[in-house]
Structure formats: C-alpha cells, structure tokens
Amino acid sequence: MAETTVNGSERVALITGVTGQDGSYLCELLLKKGYKVHGIVRRTSNVQRLRLEHLRTMPEVYGKSFFLHYGDLSDATTLRRIIHLARPDEIYHLAGQSHVGLSFEIPESTCEEIAMATLRLLEICRDQPHPIHFYHASTSEIFGFVKESPQTEETPFRPSSPYGCAKAFATDMGRVYRAGYNLFVCNGILYNHESPRRGENFVTRKISRQVARIKLGMADKLTLGNVHGRRDWGHAQDYVEAMWLMLQHPTPDDYIVATGKSHSVMDFVEAAFAVVGLPWEKHLEFDRSIERPIEPARLLGDAGKIERVIGWKPKRTFEMLATEMVEADLADLADLRS
C-alpha cells in the first residue's frame, strides 16, 4: 500500500455518504493510498452497507484504518462530535437524497438534506482548529435549463429540479466559504456517473439489471419513462479519482468532471441489449407515469479545466460502462440463483 502522509503523519479522511456508489469506491481508493478512512452512516438497515461489507468484515482493515460512525446530516451535534473525534484532513461530502425525479415528490426534505446539511458541515469546518480540505459533491443538475452546451465552470446556474436548486445553493455556499473564510473548499461538478454499484432506481442500473434478468429468462419487459433525454455518462471509479485529485491541488477551486460525450437513454438501452445479443424492440415498453415534470436541457460537460490544471481524464468509455454493468448483473443474478 502506498503511504500518504502529511509531515510524516497519516492522512485522515471523512466521507459522508460512504455507503453509496461513490462513497464505497472512494473509500477503497483512499485505503489503498494509505489513508485512515472514517465514514458516516445512518442508523438504517444493513442492505445499504452491502457495498462496504467486504471492508467491514476484514479484521485487518475495520477498526484499524476504516471506521464507521452513526450520524445524521440533520444532527449538527453528532457531526461536530465525529469531526472532533476523527480530526480529518479531508472531508468528502457525498451524502444526501440524490434522485432527481424523487426530489419533485419530496422537495422539502431534499433541500434540507442537501442544502442545509452542506451549510452545517461548512460551519463546523470553519470552527475547527486545524485546516480541512472539503470536497462538495456538486452536479450538472445545477445547470438545468442550460443556455449553452457544453457547460463549463463559468456557465450560470439555472436548475430545473428541486434537487438542482438545493445543489446550486450548496455549491454557492462552498464558494462563499472559500472566498469569505479562506476555507479549502472544492466543488466537483460531476455529470452522471455509473457503475455496477449504482442503485437500481437510476436508469442505467435499472436497464442493466432488467436486461440481465431478461437474458436469464427471469423477466420479459423493461419499462422506462422518457428515453430521449441525453446525458454525459461516465464511470464512477474514474470520477472518485477526480474528487481525490482536487483536494491534493495546492489551491481550491471548482471543476467540471465529465466525458464530453452525449448519449441518450435509448443509446444505453441499445448498448445493454447488444451485450446479451437480444433485440430491444421485443422487450422495451413505456410508462408515462415515470416521466418527470421537467427534464434538464442538453447536459454535456467540458472537462477541459480539470484536465489542464490537474491532469484528470476519464479512462472508461460509454460502451465499456454498459458492458461492465450488464456483465456484472448477469454474474450477480447467476450467483443468486445458484
């Protein structure tokens, strides 16, 4: 394992949202780099922790270089206590309700979890006696009703969902705390990023899982909403590396993290069915109730700045992503059946 140290002492990171897709990949990346990693988890079911189970059950890792703490983003006292205890050099704030469609149904709790929780954490960081590098998981959804494509770090925020509004608030707060209090805050403006660890409530994983089920004879139909929406889809493992790199740069800034390639949901459907060699026409059906009241316009990122300043570039392509996801679901379902 490569040792990462500051003045000879071990680096410590704290991750909110550690049980999620990005949190679990980031946790693995930081442990490999020799960090001590603390994660905050909600007091909920074990299911959510499956992505970390391999680390939690490793006695040489869990309790030695990897620690989990119960905490809730609405509870400032607990957050403050965990930060006091862990004394992180770096905080990666990834937690919060992340489903855009759902944010139209639960706008208040979405804003509370995303906007106010980020502000709460920034306030706690401001009070700490030691400097903390703070990563905020911003998103392309802040651009929503875009007027220009591709978007850059200079593109104005015009969110088109409650989720996007909350993220725009949190991103601006990060900028204010960086300028006003000299805090080391980076907003990673990430475009859609997927993997076999993506939740099944997001469209790519819904597709890969159902295509695998269809291939194995466990289902016959894939039901989707609007398949004409276009996104800039990358791989989550590439994107967590960008998060880490941002916090290692001498000066904090905001960066777009994207592939610069646009694909429709339909492109992903076709790519996924191609992996199993089945005709999508026989299996795809539509349900208008899944459609959202508003869809963002052309979300496409220009990641020129992060490549120029930090040297980050995506390694995996859209086709590699679709293939990996479908193959992982085929293997997982086959395991479950045996």
Binding site for ligand G4F (CB under 6 A): 98, 100-101, 139-141, 190-192, 201-203, 206, 224-227, 229, 231, 265, 290, 292, 295
CA proximity to 107, closest of 68, 156, 165, 186: 165
- Which residue's CB is nearer to ligand G4F, number 132 or number 326? 326
Do 133 and 247 form a contact (C-beta atoms < 8 A)? yes
Contacts of 115 (CB under 8 A, 6+ apart): 165, 166, 167, 169, 170, 173
Q: Which H or E run includes 133?
A: strand 133-139
Please tell me the chain's helix, strand, coil percentages from 3-state DSSP, rounded to the nearest 5. Answer: 45, 15, 35
Q: Which H or E run includes 166?
A: helix 162-181
- Which residue's CB is nearer to ligand G4F, number 173 or number 265? 265
- Which residue's CB is nearer to ligand G4F, number 108 or number 127? 108
Catalytic residue among 16, 139, 171, 204: 139
Q: Per the structure block, which two tokens stand in for 73?
A: 């983003």
Catalytic residue among 163, 177, 239, 255: 163
Q: Give the shortest CB-264-to-ligand G4F separation in angstroms.
A: 9
Q: Give the shortest CB-249-to-ligand G4F separation in angstroms.
A: 22
Provide the 10 A C-beta neighbour count for residue 104: 15
Helix (H, G, I), strand (E, B) or coil at 262: coil
Q: Assess whether 139 carries a catalytic annotation.
A: yes
Q: Give the shortest CB-328-to-ligand G4F separation in angstroms.
A: 17
Catalytic residue among 28, 113, 141, 324: 141
- Which residue's CB is nearer to ligand G4F, number 249 or number 292? 292
Closest residue to ligand G4F, Cβ-based?
229
- Which residue's CB is nearer to ligand G4F, number 128 or number 226? 226
Q: Give the shortest CB-161-to-ligand G4F separation in angstroms.
A: 8
Q: Assess whether 163 carries a catalytic annotation.
A: yes
- Which residue's CB is nearer to ligand G4F, number 228 or number 337? 228
Q: Give the shortest CB-291-to-ligand G4F separation in angstroms.
A: 6
Contacts of 38 (CB under 8 A, 6+ apart): 12, 13, 14, 15, 67, 68, 69, 82, 86, 88
Q: Give the shortest CB-309-to-ligand G4F separation in angstroms.
A: 21
Q: Assess whether 223 carries a catalytic annotation.
A: no
For strands 90-93 and 133-139, give the pairing.
Answer: parallel
Alpha helices (H) in 182-217, listed in sequence order: 203-215
Contacts of 71 (CB under 8 A, 6+ apart): 40, 41, 42, 78, 79, 82
Q: Give the shortest CB-141-to-ligand G4F separation in angstroms.
A: 4
> In Å, how far from its chain's centre is CA 175?
20
- Which residue's CB is nearer to ligand G4F, number 11 or number 263? 263
Helix (H, G, I), strand (E, B) or coil at 186: strand
Do 174 and 136 form a contact (C-beta atoms < 8 A)? yes
Active site residues: 139, 141, 163
